[in-house]
Structure 1
Amino acid sequence: MESLDRILDAFTDPSTGSLHAAVFIVVDSSGKRIYSRASGRTKTDTQDAEPLGFDALYWVASMTKLVTAVSIMQLVERGVLSLDEDVRKRVPELANIQILGGMKQGDPPGSMQPQLRPVLGKITPRSSDLLKEWSKSVGRSAHTFTGSIEGYKHPLLFEPGTSWGYGAGLDWAGRLIENVCNCSLEEYMQKNIWSKLGVTSTTFHPELYPDTLPPKLEMANRISVGQGTKSIKAGPVILGQPLKDDLGGIGLWSTPNDYIKLLTTLLRGGQPLLTKDSLEILFQPQLSDASRAAMPLPLGSRMRTILGIKSVDDIDQADHCLAGTVTLKDIPGRRPCGTVSWSGLPNLHWWIDQKTDITAALFTQLLPPGDAAVTGLLIDLETALYKALREKEHVGPKGKL
């Protein structure tokens, strides 16, 4: 695995690298760490920073979604929820939600009025610029990163099940969990997930545990390219803190050592969190043909590259499951068909490859999202990893790689 060392160390080199810190961990279903390295420093000013370890605290952002999806499947297992029920009966804020069809000239002249129509189908647990215009027309200031569920109270853009957009579904799923269990999402996850895995440093509210949590890894902002760590500077975490609500789509803080325990548990079959049958549902492609056809464009170019999607018209390469995206075809030299994956806004990534019997995660703290250098790093690490596994004749549950 020396090639992975070289890739990571070059990426975090204080003179020529692209970032101050990166962690990459690979685990097999026995729980063995096939590869594990923390490279770089805890601050963007690398001359005045400690070496990076595995227990720094990261805002994992959309990597929260996987945890919320697991929580939903636990409640489905127990018969508390159904994946096909209309959640509007349980989440009052969604009871009167409508679809925003567009904006039109209003009265007085120059003003814009929303064109709204009712939602005809069910809003189930399975499942822009226009919204900016709507927010302006109604005087709405809340948004995704205000740290409150108020940021997600807006019309839908299409009838459920007819298209695909990167939205607030898992944040509303978190509110659904709170309503049916009569507790906060933090309390639910602590009791039903983290305590079962021996996880001690994952929370929506790091401000409540200043004496027990590890220090946060400093967030970096990309200000230029091609100048080593001079291309970044320290920047803020854009999510409003402390959170007003436990946001099931973006709100968690965690450490590499903590989060990899969740990924390993899912790779190993789900116990003690889920049954094997529930895990299969969690990882099963869910999109209709229309939704899958709509997915490549809003995914963005970086995510399309990661998933091996060649263009916005390439609708047969990837699907979406309850846990994240699913590759439908092998990516040569990289992840095979059936690999489930997702990412977090500050350029974090994870994937679970049951065919090869591995799970892996890359942890960084860098904004803005979709950074080209980190995308390149992820693909280089993934390519080197699978090459090394092939050379070592790695044997997974379905035989040699």
Structure 2
Amino acid sequence: MAQKINKLYEDAVASGLLPGVSVIAGDKDGNVLYSKSLGKASLKDSRDDAFTPSTVCALASMSKLMTSVAVLQCVEQGKLDLDQDVRPMLPEMGKYGIITAFDDDRNEATFKPDATPITLRMLLSHTSGHEYDWFNPLLGKWRASRGEVPWSGPTVEHKSALPLVFPPGTDFAYGAGHDWASKVVEVATGTNLEAFMQTHIWTPLGIQDDVSFYPKTKPTMRDRMADISTLSEQGEPPAVDAPTFDILFGGTDCLGGGGVFASAEAYYAFISAVFRRDPKLLTPASYDELFRPQLNEAAEQAFNDYFARSPMHTQFLALGIPHTVRKTWSFAGMVCLDAQEGRFKKGTTFWAGVPSVKWFMDHEAGICGTALCQILPPMHPAVIALHEEFQRGVYEMVESK
């Protein structure tokens, strides 16, 4: 089975679909079951270094799991409460109210005031009313009417001080809840998220030299960073270097929803620790909260409907998992309430990120894994399909024993 996974990724690198990739999977005892790194860290003419388990990659939305852990650590420390209203801590958040329509002739939006409490529970479960502006046509028009580019600028406020798209707590939309939650952590602790995670997550796991929001400022990481590459506009290989693409779109804050950089071995050490419920990070009760589905019946239905809202929603969020598999959301990520034959058992947790990176935790089968590469277009279906075969291969290894 390992040889089969090897060949899939070898063929992908040979075809130019992937410049480089690093994948690691292991079991509940911390044993590595499969690990493979292939290709190059960059397609720049000036570089020829291999893509290895220590190559540093942008994690994009795989950062969200780390932020959820940090929030729960603050709850354990008594500095935060999951159900407190955090609006007073973040005056910019939700200040526009709820966007209800956009008048194209007048080039202006209409809003409805809203002062509903917004809690950390809502922020971490995407029920706060926030949606990424590049996902929502109304928000896109509102941005354009102001001469602004979606999700751009240095701070969380620049990127995510947006009109809400529904009253908090009533629906599901994928958005910047974790970025706002990271600001709550910073206000509550008096330190930035980099320093907090360094102390409470990265150093306890021994990965402090391999993960950061600011890898270019760290001599131990700077020279190991992979460069982003892109396929053609049609998503066809061969990949070429993407020199002008900024994964942070000008961001300088610690963006808890998408700003972490790490090597595959460091990120695997993190997800393996979370998967094994390592007491270095959280208490048993906090792990229960991390993995527990958070959506009520209406929000869960909205989440399942969300995948089919547009081809982009399907590509960015579904991870190749059929619509027939019922899904919900936990603070850790997406939870599949049904099994998928030959791939995972029910209760498996997933998430992923823009440069076609992904992780999974199959609690019942006892396996977890991550796949890191740095390729555009975002969440490219052919690359996500490769990562699916990686997961299937590891699943088969365990199930055939």
Q: Is the shorter-chain TM-score for this pair beyond 0.5, marking a shared fold?
A: yes
Given that 1:61 and 1:251 are in contact with CA atoms closer than 8 Å, whether structure 2 keeps it comes out as: yes
Partner of 2:78: 79
C-alpha separation in 2, matches of 1:197 and 1:244: 25
* Deviates most, 287-296 or 3-12: 287-296
Partner of 1:90: 89
C-alpha separation in 1, matches of 2:26 and 2:280: 18
* Deviates most, 85-94 or 334-343: 85-94
Structure 2 counterpart of 1:135, from 139, 143, 146: 143
SS at 2:25's partner residue?
strand
Does 1:12 pair with 2:27?
A: no
Partner of 1:238: 246
Given that 2:154 and 2:250 are in contact with CA atoms closer than 8 Å, whether structure 1 keeps it comes out as: yes
C-alpha separation in 1, matches of 2:88 and 2:12: 49
Distance 1:214 1:35, change over 3 A: farther
How far apart are residue 116 of structure 1 and its match? Answer: 1.1
Structure 1 length normalisation: TM-score? 0.88
Distance 1:17 1:183, change over 3 A: same
How far apart are residue 358 of structure 1 and its match? Answer: 1.4
Partner of 1:377: 386
The aligned runs of 1:96-245 (5 Å cut-off) are 96-104=95-103, 110-127=105-122, 128-137=136-145, 139-141=146-148, 143-149=150-156, 150-199=158-207, 200-210=209-219, 213-223=222-232, 228=237, 230-240=238-248, 243-245=251-253
Distance 1:287 1:46, change over 3 A: farther
Does 1:317 pair with 2:316?
A: no
C-alpha separation in 1, matches of 2:286 and 2:267: 20
Partner of 1:343: 352
Partner of 2:340: 331
C-alpha separation in 2, matches of 1:58 and 1:386: 25
Provide the alpha-carbon RMSD of the alignment.
2.3
How far apart are residue 132 of structure 1 and its match? Answer: 1.6
Distance 1:375 1:60, change over 3 A: same
Structure 2 length normalisation: TM-score? 0.88
State the structure with more CA Rg: 1
C-alpha separation in 1, matches of 2:360 and 2:3: 21
C-alpha separation in 1, matches of 2:46 and 2:394: 30
Distance 1:172 1:374, change over 3 A: same
How far apart are residue 322 of structure 1 and its match? Answer: 0.9
C-alpha separation in 1, matches of 2:306 and 2:67: 22
Given that 2:90 and 2:184 are in contact with CA atoms closer than 8 Å, whether structure 1 keeps it comes out as: yes
How far apart are residue 177 of structure 1 and its match? Answer: 0.4
Given that 1:201 and 1:213 are in contact with CA atoms closer than 8 Å, whether structure 2 keeps it comes out as: no
C-alpha separation in 1, matches of 2:109 and 2:37: 50
Partner of 1:399: none
Does 1:301 pair with 2:314?
A: yes
Given that 1:207 and 1:242 are in contact with CA atoms closer than 8 Å, whether structure 2 keeps it comes out as: no
Given that 1:27 and 1:33 are in contact with CA atoms closer than 8 Å, whether structure 2 keeps it comes out as: yes
Given that 1:147 and 1:239 are in contact with CA atoms closer than 8 Å, whether structure 2 keeps it comes out as: no
* Deviates most, 372-381 or 322-331: 372-381
Partner of 2:275: 267
Partner of 2:377: 368
Structure 2 residues not aligned, in runs of 5+: 123-135, 308-312
Identity across aligned pairs (percent)?
27
SS at 2:395's partner residue?
helix
Structure 1 residues not aligned, in runs of 5+: 394-401
SS at 1:144's partner residue?
coil
How far apart are residue 95 of structure 1 and its match? Answer: 6.5
C-alpha separation in 2, matches of 1:73 and 1:58: 25
Given that 1:342 and 1:350 are in contact with CA atoms closer than 8 Å, whether structure 2 keeps it comes out as: yes
For 1:220, the aligned partner's letter is S
1:177-199 deviations in Å (ceiling 9; x for gaps): 00011111111111111111101
SS at 2:322's partner residue?
coil
User: Which stretches of structure 1, 4 residues or more, deviate above 6 A after TM superposition?
Assistant: 45-48
Partner of 2:127: none
How far apart are residue 294 of structure 1 and its match? Answer: 1.9
